[in-house]
Amino acid sequence: MASFALSATVRCLSQPLAAGSGKVADRRDGCCYLGISSMFSRKANSSTSTTTRELTVTNVASPQRLSNIVPLPEKENVVDDHNHWRNHVAWTSVRQERWEGELVVEGEIPLWLSGTYLRNGPGLWHIGDYNFRHLFDGYAMLVGLHFENGCLIAGHRQIESEAYKAAKKNNKLCYREFSEVPKFDSFLSYVGDLANLFSGASLTDNANTGVIKLGDGRVVCLTETQKGSIVIDPDTLDTLGKFEYSDSLGGLIHSAHPIVTETEFLTLLPDLIKPGYLVVKMEPGTNERKVIGRVDCRGGPSPGWVHSFPVTEHYVVVPEMSLRYCAQNLLKAEPTPLYKFNWHPDSKAFVHIMCKASGQIVASVEVPLFVTFHFINAYEEKDEEGRVTAIVADCCEHNADTTILDKLRLQNLRSFNGQDVLPDARVGRFTIPLDGSPFGELDAALEPDEHGRGMDMCSINPAYLGKKYRYAYACGAQRPCNFPNTLTKIDLVEKKAKNWYDEGAVPSEPLFVARPGATEEDDGVVISMISEKNGDGYALLFDGSTFEEIARAKFPYGLPYGLHGCWVPKK
């Protein structure tokens, strides 16, 4: 993020400390190191205990770099304890397309942390006078946190998809979003849109879900439409253009969460015509996907939703959920309670295991009904002779309750009145036998009360992808609540969780970054971004091992809630 460092146009210098409450002792790479005697006390509340950490302001933005100041957005007024949720910054649109600046750091950022944390998610939930209805509808906004030499430079940009640019130009919705359909002037224009729907032309390219770094270094923002794959510059956050697949596999949708490492890219392409999934791979440096194999669905009129899926060292785990794609709902001008899906419990649920090397299906078993957006990880269980006997796959499972989708309507998120309305969730653990048995198991990997019966937005140490692992970092619940509101470290061996909670705050997905040279699974830091009910926000760093707060940096304004992120190490 060299350009951030060179053109950081707004600095957080309005705080009293930056106005001269300390003496400049040293300056390294544009950061002023101040000897400050003031101590800041922060409370990190747990559902079982409360701990207090003292943070010292160690790094403050340099006042010499204040050229080309960009005006900051104004806060919305908080009316009262209930209405503040309507104005909570987590559920409001960002007020400008782009911003960047250096932040005051309270605490200490490890000097080894060198690179950029990128977070993608919806940043704009309205166009003109029209307000979008669902969390997943908003136009994508990319946030970057650049760490170097203990300093932090932040910024955000709206991703310039065709959907976003057309909406800006015409001051109205022009493409189909998750729950939104453009308003048509006539029946003929509606018929024309349906024709474009089947060709994919009217589907959005609003890449507001995830962001990944490919093995060749390219950084791509994604959503569930294949056309919504957009290349961005991780240094400037600028939109570079479409990621065009060079193969002829076709299709309109894919898993929003591919499996990406330095050497492989794997994803699923649902087949809505002949219900099933293509499992495909793409080599680094190419745009061509190649088919590993195909899985035919065993139940239902269409394939189950596959927002994500896990892999092991040798196998791809293909879930077939009873929450299935629904063409009829896709054609409707107004959203149904399940949006683009339908619930088919009679069709049952299945998990298929495919060999990565051969494309052969080695197991296809019925499992209890489940609902999940996000898988966490999977690994192979082996016997004493090293033979694989079962596949274990963990996910954030919503107790087969589809109401979570409708709970994510913005109206529901903005109207929290203190009642406990967040549906329960758990770490669901599938055990899929490879001995020919027709059934698999689904149980809770630990007692759900450990994390408040809320569970989503998980990350792990990427070195343990597809391998037996112990720790996961996620968002849990401090009840009553209407949305996950804690950060949680899960120990799957001790079956315990440690929780961080700040009243009224909405944290985004915690991302684990391993310390270079680390030998322990949890040796690193965890990064999250927090939206506060008073309109503020801050970046937060934890020690991955102790799960204690080690640093935070306040933004000069609050950012909306974001979805998924990735880490781009310094080149």
- b (16+ CB within 10 A) / e for 375-386: bbbbbbbeeeee
Q: What is the DSSP code string of 384-397?
A: TTS-EEEEEEEEEE
Angle (CA) 358 380 322, round 5°: 80
* Residues belonging to the chain: 571
Q: Which has the closest alpha carbon to 168: 107, 210, 127?
A: 127
State the DSSP code for 407: H
Q: What is the CA radius of gyration of the chain?
A: 23
| CB distance 559 to 116 below 8 Å | no
**Alpha-carbon torsion (406, 407, 408, 410), positive or negative:** positive
How many of the other CB atoms lie within 10 Å of CB of 413? 20
| Ramachandran angles phi, psi of 19, nearest 5° | -90, 5
Task: Report residue 406 as tokens.
Answer: 């409708």
Element holding 270 (H helix, E strand): strand 265-271
Element holding 293 (H helix, E strand): strand 289-296
* 307 annotated ligand-binding residue: yes
* 374 annotated ligand-binding residue: yes
Q: What is the DSSP code string of 148-167?
A: ETTEEEEEEEE---HHHHHH
Q: What is the DSSP code string of 52-84?
A: EEEEEEEEEE-TT---SPPPPPPPPPP-STTGG
CA 309 – CA 312 distance, rounded (Å): 11
- Asked whether the bond before 301 is cis by omega within 30 degrees of 0, the reply is no
Q: Which has the closest alpha carbon to 412: 134, 131, 122, 129?
A: 134
Contacts of 122 (CB under 8 A, 6+ apart): 135, 136, 137, 138, 139, 140, 141, 208, 560, 561, 562, 563
Helix (H, G, I), strand (E, B) or coil at 464: helix
* 564 annotated ligand-binding residue: yes
Annotated binding site for Fe cation: 257, 307, 374, 564
Annotated binding site: 257, 307, 374, 564
